[in-house]
Amino acid sequence: DNKNYLRSLPFSHQDDEMIMVHSSPTNPSHWYYVLSMPDALIEMQAFSQNLCFIGHSHVPLVFSNQDMIREPLVQIEQNHKYIVNVGSVGQPRDGNPQLCYTLYDTHKREIKYVRLDYDIHTTYAKIIEAGLPLYLAERLLKGY
């Protein structure tokens, strides 16, 4: 049932201010990674809004059309484009085993990354019990 539900969801959602995709705005149904400034500049051509929220790589960072930003708080400037990788509540890939989620304050125009501890060892055990690959459990301990 869970897999069928996930398959039924759209690959993107957008409004006047932002677009949200899992992997990349150029081709949301494919699993491209946006990990570098050249990648981001190409992807920014695929949307007209100022903001694009992505996940997929599980690496919390912000690309503007001028820079790559790895700060916990990012001010969104009016005439810039941004790709915001929201991080990961599970399976982190940035070397930090804490969970990470993103808040966007539409009034202050701020992106804020929130990091929290969670019971990694219980999650590790559940991954093993479910018969999933060992590397999915191991990376929880290291954050990559």
Average pLDDT over residues 91-103: 96
How confident is the model over 2-12, as pLDDT tens digits? 999 999 999 99
Residue with tokens 């100022």: 50
pLDDT at 1 over 90: no
pLDDT at 15 over 90: yes
pLDDT at 107 over 90: yes
**Helix axis angle, 134-142 relative to 120-129, nearest 10°?**
170
In the prediction, which pLDDT does 90 show?
86
**What domains can you pick out in the chain, each with its CATH number?**
2-118 (3.60.21.10)
Please choose, from the candidates 102, 85, 97, the residue with its C-alpha nearest in 3D space to the C-alpha of residue 123: 97
Provide the residue type at 63 as one letter.
Answer: F
Average pLDDT over residues 45-57: 97
Could you tell me the pTM of the whole model? 0.93
Torsion of CA 89, 93, 98, 102, to 10 degrees: -50
Q: Which residues pair with 91 in a beta bridge?
A: none
How confident is the model over 23-36, as pLDDT tens digits? 999 999 999 999 99
What is the C-alpha to C-alpha distance for residues 35 and 139, in angstroms, rounded to an integer?
19
Cα dihedral sign, 77-81-86-91: negative
